[in-house]
C-alpha cells in the first residue's frame, strides 16, 4: 500500500473510533464509502490508470475499503450495544411494585369436599343420585322404617311446611336418606349410589345449623355384607383424610333403617389441645352406617329375601371441618369474603385421585 | 345413663378393670361418653394431721402450720380460719395441680415464710362450692391414706350414651347383662330382687284404670301398695353416695329408693304421701284444661291425650313422666302409697315432649320398661322401704294385667354370616342369644327365638343378627375390599349433574367467591322476589327471618354483599349454585347459579384505574356460565326483559328461542336500597335446569373439521346512524347475514350519540372481518361485499351509513 493510502486508512480508522454515536459513524461512512465519499472517489480514479497500475492500486484500494467496512461494522455494533444499554438503563421499572389485580375467586369448602367425595366414591363405582329438598312423609320417614309416632322422628327436629289440601304435610328432608328410597323405587339392584345434598333440622346453636349437608351411600346387590361395608368405608376414610394407616373403628349402634347398624370412628390425637387425624389412641365419630333394613327394601319393592346391601350417611360439614381445620360450623354460611378467601379453594384446584385431592 | 363401677359390680362378677370395661361397653354398642375416675384424679390428696398452727409473723389472716402427712412433717402457710392444731385435714403436696382452681402448687415463700403445699377446701377439690374453710375429717381418719378412698369418692363414674332401642340398659342390670354375654364376667343374683312381702292388711286405697277403648294401652297395668307407719328421713350413706355420684340429689329415703330402682333395674316407681291422697287412685286420660303443679315446681296445663294418675281431687301425677307436688313425700310422711305401673312408650314420649319435661321416668318408659318386672319391682321396693323406714305393708292392689309380650322370631344361623361377612356357628349364635336372655329352640336348621320381655326392640331376623354380631364383636368382621363391577367405573356424574360443577369452577375462575346460604329466608324478602306462596312457608321456622323457602338465590347474596361491603370489602363478587323453589312439589325446585358483583371491577391500583361494575359484567358472567355448561352461546339472544328486581333499562334475559336461560343486569335501585347496598351492584341468575344438553352426535364429541384459509382476511369498518331504540344485536346480525360465506366476525367498537348526530339517534361502529376461502379478494369483491353489508344493515335497522 502506498503511503497515501496508508494515510487515508489511518485517518479513516481514527475517525471511526472517534465517532461516538451511530449518527456520527454514519457520517464517517458516507464521507468515505458513500457515493461521493473519499474512498469511492479514489476507486473512481482507477479507470484512468494503466492495467498494471490499476491491478496493483485496485487491490490496495479493495483492501482499504474492506478494512474500513470491517472497522465501521465493529464500531457500529459496539455503539449499538452501548446505546441499547443506555436505553435499557433508562427503562428500568420498580419491580417491587405489585402486579395488576388478578381474579381471586374461591370454591366453598363444602363444594370442594363434595367434589372429593364424588371422586373417591366414583372411583369405587358409585354414581350420584339426587332428590328434592322438600320431601313427603313417605320418603323421609315411613319408607325408612320411621313410623309416625317413632321417637326418632321427633328427635330429628323436622321442619314442616303447610299442609296440602289432601292433608299431607311436606317436610324439609332431615337427611339424605330419602334419596335411597327414591333410587330403589326407580331401579332394581345392583345399585351403587351416593347422594350428597342439603338437609334441614330445626336446631340452631354452636354445633348445629338449621341447614347443613350430608352424603348418603347405598349399595344393594345379592351378596354385599358388613365386611364389604368395612372395606368400602375404611378405604374412603384413608383416601379422604390422606392418612394411609388411619385407624377406623366400627362399633354397634342403632338406626331405624339399618340392621345391623354401626357408627364409624376414626383415630385421632388430642394432645396439647390440638386435634390431629391419625393414630393417637383417641377416637372421633364421623359417620353412621349399616345393612339396609329388610323392611326398607320391601317398602321400595325390592325383594329382601334375594337382595341385601349397605347404606351410610355422613355430615359433609363435619368431615370438611376436620380435614381443613375449620373451627366453627356457623361460619360456613356467613358468606364472609375474608373467610371464603382463607378456607375456600382456588378455581382450578379440582380434586381428583390422579392429580391429588384438594391442595 | 350414668352409673359407678362398684354399682356395676353389684350385678357383674368380673376381674376386668375399668378401662377394659369401658372399651367393651363401647364395642357392644353402649357408647361410653365419659369415665370420671375421681380416685385417680384425687390420688395425690391424702389425709394429714395439723400438728401445730401458729400466727404468721407478717400477716394477720395467715397461719403457719406444721402438717404430719404420715410420711414427714411439712410446713404449710394456710389462710383458712378453721386451721388449728390437732385437726385432721386433706393435704396437697407441692407439684400437683389443684382440680377446683387449676392452680399448680409450687414450693414458695408466702410473706417470707416457706410453704410446701396446702390444706385444701372442698371447692379446691372440685367437690362443692364450700370455701369457708379447709376440709375437716373425723379424728380417726387413717393418716396418709388417699382422701378419695376415705371420703368414698374413689368409685369411678361411667357415662353411657344409649341408643333409643336400649331401654333395658337404662338400668345397671341391663348393662351388666350385656357385659356378661360378651364374656366380661358373670351376672350375679341381686339380693334385693325376687322377694315377696305378705300384706298385713287390705289397702284402703284402690286403683281404677279408666280409659276409653282406643286408649287402653295407655296404662295396661298398675300396682299400688299402702305402707303405714314409716319414718322417712335421710337414706343410708351408701345410697346417698351412689345417687350423688351419678348426679342425683338425695332427697329422703322414700324418694331415694324409687330413684335407686329406676337406675338399678330401669324400673321407675313413685311414692305418694298416702295421707295427702283423696279417695281412690284413678288412672285415666286428663281432661282438657286440668292442671298439675309437678315436683319440678312448674305448673302444667294438660290435655286429653295425657295419662294422669289422679285421685278424688284431680291429677296427682303424669303417668310415666313426673309426680305432683301436692301429694309428694316429705320428712313428715308416715303413710306412703307406692306406685309401680306400665305406661305406653309413645304416649309417654308425646307427653314429655309436649310439656317439655325431661325426667328419668320418661327416659325409661319411652324406651319401654320390662312388663314382667312390675310385681317384682313392687316387692323389692316394699322390702327396701320396710328395711330403711320401717312400717307395715298392705296387700298389693293390682289393676290391669301383664300385657302379652312373647313373640317368636326365626333366625337362620347362616344369615349371620351372609349379612355379617364373618363365620359364626349356629351354636355360637345360640349361646350369645341365651346369654342375653333370649329363649332359643332349634327347629331343623333354624332357631326359634323368643326375645326377653325387656327387649321390645327385637322384631325380625336382622335384629337377631345384630345381637349376635355385636356380642361376637364387629372388630372380628374381616375387611373385604369392595369388588368392582367393571375395570373402569362408570362416570359418577351424568352430563346434567356436571353442570353445577362447571358453573362453580367457571365463576370462581372469573373472580367470584362461592357462598352457601340457607334455602329459607324472611317472608317479606321472598315476596319482593316473586315468592312467598303459603305452601312454601314453614310451620315451625327457627325464626321469623327464616320462614319461607327462597324463590331466588339473590336476596341472600345481596344480604351477604351488604355485610361484606360494611366490613370494607367494597369491590368484590359472590355467587351461589343452589336450589330455588316455586312450589312444594319436586318439580317446583330448580337449580340456579346466581351471583352479585358490587363496587368496582378491581381494587384501587397504581397501574390502572378500575371502573364501576355494570350490567355487562353480569352479562359476561352469565354467558361464561352458559358457555362453561356447553350451551350454544352463539345462538343466544339478549332480550331487554328481566324481573322487577333488576333495573328496567339496564337488564335483560338471555334466551334460546323462547327459553330463558339467564337474567342479568344492574340491581334495581330500590332493591339495592332495601339491602342497604350502594346503587350500581349487578347480578345474574342462570337457570341450569334450562340449559340444553349437547345432542349426542353420531361422531360423539368429535368437532367439525377445521377449515383454515390460506388467503388474506380483510377487515372493514362501518358506522351506522340508527335510532336510539335499535339494538346493537340487530346491526351485528344483519352484517353477519349479509354474506354468511365471507363474513367471519363482527364486533362493535364504538357507540356514540351527541353533537353531530340527529337527536334520538346514535352511531354504532362495527368492524367486519371478511375471510375468503377460495381466492384472495380483489378490490372490486371487497367493494361488493361492503355494499351488501351496508344494504343489509340499513334494511334491517332503518339506519344509514355514516359518512
> Tell me: the pLDDT tens digits for B389-426?
999 999 999 999 999 999 999 999 999 999 999 999 99
Whether A330 and A196 map to the same domain: the answer is yes
Contact A211 B519 (CB under 8 A): yes
Task: Give the Cα separation of B749 and A224 in Å (integer).
Answer: 65
Indicate the residue among A57, A90, A123 that finishes a domain: A90
Element containing residue B239 per DSSP (H, E): helix B237-245
Whether A19 and A157 map to the same domain: the answer is no
Contact B586 A106 (CB under 8 A): no
Contact B419 A347 (CB under 8 A): no
Facing A161 at nearest CB: one of B535, B542, B577 = B535
- Across B517-533, average pLDDT: 95
Kindly report whether the peptide bond that precedes residue A260 is cis, defined as omega within 30 degrees of 0.
Answer: yes
The answer on pLDDT for B2 being more than 90 is: yes
% of residues, chain B, pLDDT over 70: 100
- Across A177-182, average pLDDT: 97
The answer on pLDDT for B8 being more than 80 is: yes
We report the CATH number of the domain holding residue A135 as: 3.30.930.10
Sign of the torsion angle spanned by Cα atoms B593, B599, B600, B605: negative
Q: Is B58 on the interface with A (CB under 8 A)?
A: no
Alpha carbon of B729: minimum distance to chain A alpha carbons (Å):
29
The structural domain count of chain A equals 2
Give A355's pLDDT tier (boundaries 50, 70, 90): confident
Give B140's pLDDT tier (boundaries 50, 70, 90): confident
Contact A259 B479 (CB under 8 A): no
Contact A98 B490 (CB under 8 A): no
pLDDT value, residue B541: 93
Indicate the residue among A90, A120, A145 that finishes a domain: A90
- Across B142-154, average pLDDT: 86
Closest CA to B542 of A160, A198, A175, A316: A160
Contact B578 A198 (CB under 8 A): yes
Give B699's pLDDT tier (boundaries 50, 70, 90): low
Alpha carbon of B377: minimum distance to chain A alpha carbons (Å):
26
- Across A44-60, average pLDDT: 86
pLDDT single digits (tens) B149-191: 888 788 899 999 999 899 999 999 999 999 999 999 999 988 7
Q: Which residues contact B585 (CB under 8 A, 6 or more apart)?
A: A132, A134
Most trustworthy range by pLDDT among B236-240, B461-465, B607-611: B461-465
A314 located within any domain: yes
Q: Which of B38-52, B448-462, B487-501 has the lowest mean pLDDT?
A: B38-52
Facing B418 at nearest CB: one of A115, A132, A225 = A225
pLDDT value, residue A61: 87
Closest CA to B598 of B516, B507, B677, B517: B677
Contact B482 A260 (CB under 8 A): no
A268 located within any domain: no
Whether A85 and A183 map to the same domain: the answer is no
pLDDT value, residue A359: 62
pLDDT single digits (tens) B614-666: 999 999 999 999 999 999 998 899 999 999 999 999 999 999 999 999 999 99
% of residues, chain B, pLDDT over 90: 78
Whether A162 and A194 map to the same domain: the answer is yes
pLDDT value, residue B139: 86
CA angle A140, A141, A143 (to 5 degrees): 95
Whether A60 and A186 map to the same domain: the answer is no
Contact B477 A131 (CB under 8 A): no
Integer CA distances (angstroms), B138 to A194, B96, B354, in order? 66, 24, 50
Residue carrying C-alpha cell 388449728: B84
Which of the two residues, B41 and B283, has the higher pLDDT score? B283
Contact B28 A190 (CB under 8 A): no
Whether A51 and A131 map to the same domain: the answer is no
Contacts of A119 in chain B (CB under 8 A): 492
Q: Is B194 on the interface with A (CB under 8 A)?
A: no
Give A274's pLDDT tier (boundaries 50, 70, 90): confident
- Across A40-50, average pLDDT: 86
Q: Is B33 on the interface with A (CB under 8 A)?
A: no
Contact A335 B27 (CB under 8 A): no
Q: Is B549 on the interface with A (CB under 8 A)?
A: yes
pLDDT value, residue B696: 63
A256 located within any domain: no
**Contact indicator for B292, B315 with CB cutoff of 8 Å:** yes
- Across B793-801, average pLDDT: 94
A220 located within any domain: yes
Q: Which residues contact A75 (CB under 8 A, 6 or more apart)?
A: A16, A17, A19, A25
Task: Give the Cα separation of B561 and B672 in Å (integer).
Answer: 10
Q: Which of A22-31, B329-338, B555-564, B638-647 has the lowest mean pLDDT?
A: A22-31
- State which residue of chain A sits closest to B497, comparing Cα positions: A128
Q: Which of A238-242, B193-197, B362-366 has the lowest mean pLDDT?
A: B193-197
Contacts of B501 in chain A (CB under 8 A): 115
Contacts of A128 in chain B (CB under 8 A): 492-494, 497
C-alpha cell recorded at residue B294: 309437678
Alpha carbon of B157: minimum distance to chain A alpha carbons (Å):
19
Q: Which of A215, A232, A260 to probe by mutation at the B interface, max B CB count within 10 Å?
A: A260
Q: Which of A135-149, A207-221, B329-343, B457-471 has the lowest mean pLDDT?
A: A135-149
Facing A340 at nearest CB: one of B479, B483, B513 = B513
The answer on pLDDT for B315 being more than 90 is: yes
pLDDT value, residue B735: 95
pLDDT value, residue B795: 95
pTM (2 d.p.): 0.88
The answer on pLDDT for B701 being more than 90 is: no
Contact B589 A133 (CB under 8 A): yes
Burial of A238 (0-12, 13-18, 19+ CB in 10 A): middle
Whether A188 and A319 map to the same domain: the answer is yes
Q: Which domain holds residue A170?
A: 109-242+306-343
- State which residue of chain B sits closest to A123, comparing Cα positions: B489
- What separation, in Å, do the N-terminal and C-terminal C-alpha atoms of chain A show? 78
pLDDT value, residue B222: 97
A249 located within any domain: no
Mean pLDDT (chain B, rounded):
93
Q: What is the ipTM of this complex?
A: 0.89
Whether A203 and A117 map to the same domain: the answer is yes
Q: Which residues contact B459 (CB under 8 A, 6 or more apart)?
A: B407, B409
Whether A45 and A128 map to the same domain: the answer is no
Whether A63 and A7 map to the same domain: the answer is yes
Sign of the torsion angle spanned by Cα atoms A342, A346, A350, A356: negative
Alpha carbon of A36: minimum distance to chain B alpha carbons (Å):
44
- State which residue of chain A sits closest to B419, comparing Cα positions: A225
In the beta sheet, which residues pair with residue B207? B281
Contact B480 A128 (CB under 8 A): no
Facing B482 at nearest CB: one of A211, A228, A340 = A228
A39 located within any domain: yes
Q: Is B460 on the interface with A (CB under 8 A)?
A: yes
pLDDT value, residue A152: 64
Contacts of B540 in chain A (CB under 8 A): 159-160, 202
Mean pLDDT (chain A, rounded):
92
- State which residue of chain B sits closest to A212, comparing Cα positions: B518
Alpha carbon of B132: minimum distance to chain A alpha carbons (Å):
34
pLDDT value, residue A155: 65
Q: Is B262 helix (H, G, I), strand (E, B) or coil?
A: helix
Give B697's pLDDT tier (boundaries 50, 70, 90): low
Contact A154 B349 (CB under 8 A): yes
Output Rg (C-alpha) for chain B, integer angstroms: 41
pLDDT value, residue A358: 61
Whether A86 and A117 map to the same domain: the answer is no
Task: Give the Cα separation of B592 and B438 in Å (integer).
Answer: 56
Whether A152 and A192 map to the same domain: the answer is yes
Contact B492 A118 (CB under 8 A): yes
Task: Give the Cα separation of A111 and B513 in Å (integer).
Answer: 12
The answer on pLDDT for A1 being more than 70 is: no
CA angle A274, A276, A281 (to 5 degrees): 105
- State which residue of chain B sits closest to A259, comparing Cα positions: B462
Facing B164 at nearest CB: one of A98, A152, A219 = A152
A25 located within any domain: yes
The answer on pLDDT for B747 being more than 70 is: yes
The answer on pLDDT for A156 being more than 80 is: no
A31 located within any domain: yes
Q: Which of A111, A120, A185, A192 to probe by mutation at the B interface, max B CB count within 10 Å?
A: A111
Amino acid at each position: 500500500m502506498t503511503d497515501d493510502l496508508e494515510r487515508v486508512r489511518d485517518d479513516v480508522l481514527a475517525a471511526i473510533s472517534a465517532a461516538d454515536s451511530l449518527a456520527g459513524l454514519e457520517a464517517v461512512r458516507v464521507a468515505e464509502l458513500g457515493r461521493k465519499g473519499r474512498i469511492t472517489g479514489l476507486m473512481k480514479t482507477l479507470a484512468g490508470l494503466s492495467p498494471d497500475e490499476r491491478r496493483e492500486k485496485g487491490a490496495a484500494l479493495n483492501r482499504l475499503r474492506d478494512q474500513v467496512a470491517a472497522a465501521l461494522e465493529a464500531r457500529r455494533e459496539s455503539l449499538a450495544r452501548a446505546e441499547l444499554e443506555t436505553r435499557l438503563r433508562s427503562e428500568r421499572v420498580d419491580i417491587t411494585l405489585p402486579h395488576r389485580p388478578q381474579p381471586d375467586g374461591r370454591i366453598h369448602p363444602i363444594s370442594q369436599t363434595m367434589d372429593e367425595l364424588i371422586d373417591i366414591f366414583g372411583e369405587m363405582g358409585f354414581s350420584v343420585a339426587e332428590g328434592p329438598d322438600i320431601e313427603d312423609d313417605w320418603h323421609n320417614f315411613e319408607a325408612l322404617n320411621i313410623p309416625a309416632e317413632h321417637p326418632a322422628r321427633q328427635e330429628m327436629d323436622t321442619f314442616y311446611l303447610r299442609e296440602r289440601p289432601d292433608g299431607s304435610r311436606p317436610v324439609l328432608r332431615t337427611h339424605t336418606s330419602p334419596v335411597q328410597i327414591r333410587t330403589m323405587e326407580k331401579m332394581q339392584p345392583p345399585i351403587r349410589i351416593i347422594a350428597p345434598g342439603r338437609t334441614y333440622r330445626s336446631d340452631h346453636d354452636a354445633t348445629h345449623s338449621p341447614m347443613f349437608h350430608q352424603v348418603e351411600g347405598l349399595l344393594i346387590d345379592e351378596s354385599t355384607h358388613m365386611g364389604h361395608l368395612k372395606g368400602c368405608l375404611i378405604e374412603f376414610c384413608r383416601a379422604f383424610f390422606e392418612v394411609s394407616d388411619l385407624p377406623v373403628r366400627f362399633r354397634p349402634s342403632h338406626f331405624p333403617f339399618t340392621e345391623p347398624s354401626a357408627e364409624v370412628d376414626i383415630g385421632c390425637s388430642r394432645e396439647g389441645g390440638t386435634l390431629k387425624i391419625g393414630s393417637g389412641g383417641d377416637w372421633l365419630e364421623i359417620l353412621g352406617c349399616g345393612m339396609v333394613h329388610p323392611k326398607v327394601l320391601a317398602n321400595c319393592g325390592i325383594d329382601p329375601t334375594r337382595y341385601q346391601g349397605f347404606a351410610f350417611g355422613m355430615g359433609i360439614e363435619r368431615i370438611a371441618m376436620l380435614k381443613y381445620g375449620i373451627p366453627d360450623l356457623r361460619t360456613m354460611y356467613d358468606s364472609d369474603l375474608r373467610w371464603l378467601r382463607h378456607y375456600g379453594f382456588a378455581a382450578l384446584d379440582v380434586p381428583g385421585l390422579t392429580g391429588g385431592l384438594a391442595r | 345413663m350414668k352409673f359407678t363401677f362398684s354399682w356395676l359390680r353389684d350385678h357383674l362378677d368380673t376381674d376386668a378393670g375399668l378401662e377394659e370395661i369401658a372399651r367393651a361397653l363401647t364395642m357392644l354398642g353402649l357408647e361410653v361418653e365419659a369415665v370420671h375416675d375421681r380416685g385417680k384424679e384425687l390420688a395425690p390428696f391424702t389425709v394429714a394431721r395439723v400438728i401445730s398452727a401458729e400466727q404468721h409473723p407478717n400477716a394477720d389472716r395467715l397461719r403457719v402450720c406444721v402438717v404430719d402427712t404420715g410420711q414427714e412433717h411439712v410446713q404449710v402457710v394456710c389462710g383458712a380460719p378453721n386451721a388449728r392444731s390437732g385437726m385432721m385435714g386433706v393435704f396437697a403436696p407441692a407439684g400437683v395441680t389443684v382440680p377446683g382452681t387449676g392452680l399448680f402448687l409450687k414450693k414458695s415463700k408466702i410473706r417470707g415464710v416457706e410453704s410446701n403445699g396446702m390444706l385444701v377446701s372442698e371447692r379446691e377439690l372440685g367437690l362443692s362450692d364450700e370455701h369457708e374453710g379447709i376440709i375437716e375429717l373425723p379424728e380417726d381418719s387413717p393418716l396418709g391414706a388417699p382422701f378419695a378412698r376415705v371420703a368414698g369418692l374413689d368409685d369411678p363414674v361411667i357415662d353411657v350414651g344409649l341408643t333409643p332401642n336400649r331401654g333395658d340398659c337404662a338400668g345397671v342390670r341391663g348393662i351388666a347383662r350385656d357385659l356378661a354375654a360378651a364374656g366380661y364376667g358373670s351376672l350375679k343374683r341381686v339380693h334385693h330382687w325376687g322377694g315377696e312381702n305378705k300384706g298385713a292388711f287390705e289397702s284402703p286405697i284402690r286403683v281404677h284404670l279408666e280409659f276409653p277403648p282406643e286408649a287402653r294401652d295407655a296404662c295396661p297395668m298398675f300396682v299400688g301398695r299402702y305402707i303405714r307407719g314409716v319414718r322417712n328421713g335421710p337414706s343410708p350413706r351408701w345410697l346417698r353416695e351412689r345417687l350423688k355420684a351419678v348426679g342425683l340429689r338425695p332427697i329422703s329415703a322414700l324418694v331415694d329408693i324409687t330413684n335407686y330402682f329406676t337406675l338399678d333395674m330401669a324400673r321407675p316407681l313413685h311414692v305418694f304421701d298416702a295421707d295427702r291422697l283423696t279417695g281412690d287412685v284413678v288412672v285415666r286420660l286428663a281432661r282438657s284444661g286440668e292442671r298439675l303443679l309437678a315436683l319440678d315446681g312448674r305448673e302444667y296445663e294438660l290435655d286429653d291425650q295425657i295419662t294422669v294418675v289422679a285421685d278424688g281431687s284431680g291429677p296427682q301425677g303424669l303417668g310415666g313422666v313426673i309426680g305432683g307436688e301436692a301429694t309428694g313425700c316429705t320428712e313428715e310422711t308416715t303413710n306412703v302409697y307406692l306406685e309401680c305401673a306400665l305406661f305406653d312408650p309413645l304416649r309417654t314420649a308425646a307427653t314429655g315432649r309436649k310439656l317439655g319435661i325431661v325426667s328419668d321416668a320418661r327416659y325409661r318408659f319411652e324406651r319401654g320398661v320390662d312388663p314382667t318386672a312390675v310385681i317384682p319391682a313392687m316387692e323389692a321396693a316394699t322390702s327396701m322401704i320396710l328395711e330403711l323406714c320401717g312400717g307395715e305393708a298392705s296387700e298389693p292392689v293390682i289393676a290391669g294385667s301383664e300385657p302379652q309380650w312373647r313373640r317368636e322370631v326365626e333366625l337362620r344361623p347362616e344369615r349371620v354370616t351372609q349379612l355379617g361377612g364373618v363365620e359364626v356357628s349356629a351354636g355360637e349364635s345360640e349361646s350369645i342369644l341365651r346369654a342375653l336372655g333370649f329363649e332359643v329352640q332349634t327347629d331343623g336348621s333354624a332357631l326359634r327365638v323368643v326375645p326377653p320381655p325387656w327387649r321390645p326392640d327385637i322384631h325380625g331376623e336382622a335384629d337377631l343378627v345384630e345381637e349376635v354380631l355385636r356380642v361376637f364383636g364387629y372388630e372380628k368382621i374381616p375387611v373385604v375390599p369392595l369388588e368392582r363391577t367393571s375395570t373402569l367405573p362408570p362416570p359418577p356424574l351424568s352430563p346434567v349433574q356436571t353442570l353445577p360443577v362447571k358453573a362453580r369452577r367457571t365463576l370462581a375462575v372469573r373472580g367470584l367467591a362461592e357462598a352457601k346460604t340457607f334455602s329459607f329466608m324472611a317472608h317479606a324478602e321472598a315476596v319482593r322476589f316473586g315468592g312467598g306462596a303459603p305452601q312454601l312457608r314453614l310451620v315451625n321456622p327457627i325464626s321469623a327471618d327464616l320462614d319461607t323457602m327462597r324463590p331466588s338465590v339473590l336476596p341472600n347474596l345481596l344480604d351477604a354483599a351488604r355485610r361484606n361491603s360494611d366490613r370494607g370489602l367494597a369491590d368484590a363478587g359472590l355467587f351461589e349454585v343452589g336450589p330455588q323453589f316455586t312450589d312444594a312439589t319436586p318439580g317446583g325446585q330448580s337449580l340456579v347459579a346466581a351471583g352479585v358483583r358490587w363496587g368496582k371491577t378491581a381494587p384501587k391500583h397504581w397501574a390502572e384505574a378500575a371502573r364501576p361494575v355494570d350490567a355487562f359484567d353480569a352479562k359476561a358472567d352469565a354467558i361464561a356460565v352458559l358457555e362453561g355448561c356447553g350451551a350454544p352461546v352463539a345462538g343466544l339472544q339478549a332480550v331487554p326483559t328481566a324481573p322487577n328486581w333488576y333495573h328496567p333499562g339496564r337488564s335483560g334475559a338471555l334466551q334460546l328461542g323462547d327459553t330463558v336461560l339467564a337474567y342479568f343486569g344492574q340491581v334495581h335501585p330500590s332493591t339495592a336500597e332495601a339491602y342497604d347496598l350502594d346503587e350500581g351492584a349487578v347480578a345474574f341468575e342462570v337457570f341450569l335446569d334450562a340449559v340444553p344438553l349437547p345432542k349426542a352426535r353420531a361422531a360423539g364429541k368429535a368437532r367439525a373439521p377445521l377449515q383454515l384459509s390460506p388467503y388474506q382476511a380483510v377487515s372493514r369498518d362501518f358506522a351506522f346512524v340508527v335510532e336510539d331504540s335499535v339494538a346493537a344485536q340487530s346491526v351485528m346480525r344483519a352484517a353477519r347475514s349479509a354474506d354468511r360465506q365471507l363474513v367471519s366476525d363482527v364486533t362493535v367498537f364504538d357507540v356514540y350519540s351527541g353533537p353531530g348526530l340527529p337527536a334520538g339517534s346514535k352511531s354504532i361502529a362495527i368492524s367486519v372481518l371478511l375471510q375468503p376461502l377460495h381466492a384472495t379478494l380483489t378490490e372490486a369483491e371487497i367493494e361488493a361485499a361492503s355494499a351488501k353489508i351496508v344494504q343489509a344493515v340499513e334494511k334491517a335497522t332503518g339506519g344509514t351509513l355514516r359518512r
